[in-house]
Amino acid sequence: MADSELQQVIQILKDVGKSAQAITGVEGLRMLVDELALQFPMDADIQSERVDAGGVPAEWIQAPAAANGVLLYLHGGGFVCGSMKSFGHMLGRLARATGLRVMGIEYRLAPENPFPAAVQDAMAAYRWLLSRGIDSKDIVIAGDSAGGGLTLSTLIALRYFGEPLPAAGVCLSPWADLTNTAESFAIKAAVDPCVQREALELFANFYLGNRDRRTPLASPLHADLQGLPPLLIQVGSSETLLDDSIHLADRAKAAGVDVTLEIWNDMVHVWHLFAPILREGQQAIERIGEFIQKRTATRAHRQTP
């Protein structure tokens, strides 16, 4: 581990946290999250194009010599914030590592559009890809934080409606249990500079309102996971959400799912976002590329960063 790199990331997150405490409205929080990403622009050779994906605003992000397969990406942000502006640079790196075209979607956000709007939009985008003639086995669904949980929720919903399932799912630091009762919230509170229970409680209320926090399509940890495609779960050992990943992996394995759980020492929430300055961020993205290439029919050629 490059300690100086990680300490730089931790300081950035602490500074963002201080700024967030002074914000009272949702729009201000969304602007803060988007502004954080402005220091990390996409590489010059990454192409992007806005598209309407079955009624869902989306963006194609593509590296040179991309294959026909697609990585459908569901961004994080507690179902309340986040956009292609805040995640575009990371998706460019994922496009390069996987060799696939990446389609990031702008699913509707809470509290204006509470559950199940995000699940509906993710399903609509996936069905749009199928309608364009893309084989389900050439698609992987991935997401981080709330988007990591949404990845599981989308897979579960697709299975329920009898849709052909994608080749795999990838969950980065997933928020998979909106009850927010895991022990790691207390155990890791002092070392996680990004995610605390109080904020997630607010986001969960925005997203679910008075609904049961164990609603399976909102908290996939409480869902039937049988029949899902292979999963890769990456989480940092310093995360308050660590137990969400551990318990999710355990439940998936018990349901017969082929699941790979990677716990990265000392890493913080969605450290992949800091790949431009944190080598473990790029290394984790490379691991995602390796996982995906082994499971997609296209066997996309991997490009070096």
Greater confidence (31 vs 302) lies with: 31
Q: Which range, 10-19, 21-30, 171-180, is most confident?
A: 171-180
163 an active-site residue?
no
Q: Measured between alpha carbons, how far is 110 from 205 in angstroms, rounded to an integer? A: 9
pLDDT tens profile 121-146: 999 999 999 999 999 999 999 999 99
Which DSSP letter does residue 81 get? S
Q: Tell me: pLDDT of 301 over 60.
A: no
Contact 264, 236 (CB under 8 A): yes
Residue 111 preceded by cis peptide, ω within 30: yes
Q: Which amino acid is at 169?
A: G
pLDDT tens profile 73-112: 999 999 999 998 889 999 999 999 999 999 999 999 999 9
Task: Enter the pTM of the model.
Answer: 0.95
Q: Tell me: pLDDT of 171 over 80.
A: yes
DSSP string, 193-256: SS--HHHHHHHHHHHHTTS-TT-TTT-GGGS--TTPPPEEEEEETT-TTHHHHHHHHHHHHHTT
239 an active-site residue?
yes
pLDDT the model gives residue 304: 41
pLDDT level of residue 1 (50, 70, 90 thresholds): very low
75 an active-site residue?
no
Q: Walk me through the domains of the chain, giving residue ranges and CATH numbers.
A: 3-293 (3.40.50.1820)
Question: What average pLDDT does range 203-212 have in this prediction?
Answer: 97
CA distance between the termini of the chain? 19
pLDDT level of residue 36 (50, 70, 90 thresholds): confident
pLDDT the model gives residue 300: 44
pLDDT tens profile 230-280: 999 999 999 999 999 999 999 999 999 999 999 999 999 999 999 999 999
Angle at 170 (CA atoms; ends 209, 95), nearest 5 degrees: 115
pLDDT the model gives residue 56: 98
pLDDT the model gives residue 35: 83
Contact 273, 38 (CB under 8 A): no
Pick the catalytic residue from 59, 75, 86, 145: 145
pLDDT tens profile 214-241: 999 999 999 999 999 999 999 999 999 9
pLDDT tens profile 56-77: 999 999 999 888 899 999 999 9
pLDDT tens profile 43-54: 999 999 999 999
* Mean pLDDT computed over every residue of the chain: 94
Strands 101-105 and 56-62: antiparallel
Largest CA distance in the chain: 49
Q: Measured between alpha carbons, how far is 204 from 207 in angstroms, rounded to an integer? A: 5
pLDDT the model gives residue 302: 43
Q: Measured between alpha carbons, how far is 172 from 149 in angstroms, rounded to an integer? A: 9
Pick the catalytic residue from 75, 89, 269, 272: 269
Pick the catalytic residue from 86, 89, 238, 239: 239
